[in-house]
Amino acid sequence: MKTQSKNKLVTGIFYSLLAATVMFLATSCARKANFLTSSVVPAAKGTVKVKQDENNNYLIKVKIKDLAKVEQLQSSKQTYVVWMETDKGNIENLGQLISSSSLFSKQKTASLETVSSFKPIRIFVTAENGTDVRDPGNQIILSTSTF
């Protein structure tokens, strides 16, 4: 009898730990979305990763390859700005894309990593005349679908 109750206890603890682990892994996974092909800069390819942290904030990582220099666009803007549409319907300025190229590659990359307390449902990029704009311009360079 004692052996059976010990086995049931150990089994119960095992299943409880397994359920807790599965729940933790399910909630800690990052969502990933690709940017749709751009009609303005068709060579540009990129991804957005969104992960909720333990404080219920959202870590947002944007990475884009082969994005043309902003000065080469017809509109002659100064910088690329990343925007987020929230689950509340607001549009938030996440910041400026930081461009770079590696020493051994001609491929240009741009990235942004930020944290927001708002839950993102769509990320998009516009070309702007500065980084401190409150509203996005009319021409969207890249956009994800709703995720």
Q: Which amino acid is at 72?
A: Q
Q: Which of helix, strand or coil describes residue 138? A: coil
Taking residues 71-79, report their average pLDDT. Answer: 86
Q: pLDDT by residue (tens digit) across 85-110?
A: 999 999 999 999 998 866 566 678 99
Sheet of 120-128, strands arranged across? 91-96, 79-86, 120-128, 140-143
Q: Which of helix, strand or coil describes residue 30? A: coil
Pick from 10, 18, 109: nearest CA to 69? 109
In whole angstroms, what separates CA 127 from the centre of its chain?
Answer: 18
Torsion angles phi and psi, residue 17, rounded to 5: -65, -40
Pick from 112, 55, 125: nearest CA to 84? 125
Given a cut of 60, whether residue 1 has pLDDT beyond it is no
> Considering the chain, what is the average pLDDT of its residues?
87
The rounded distance, in Å, linking the Cα atoms of 116 and 61 is: 11
The rounded distance, in Å, linking the Cα atoms of 114 and 27 is: 19
Q: pLDDT by residue (tens digit) across 23-46?
A: 665 555 678 999 999 999 999 999
The rounded distance, in Å, linking the Cα atoms of 97 and 62 is: 8
The rounded distance, in Å, linking the Cα atoms of 61 and 30 is: 10
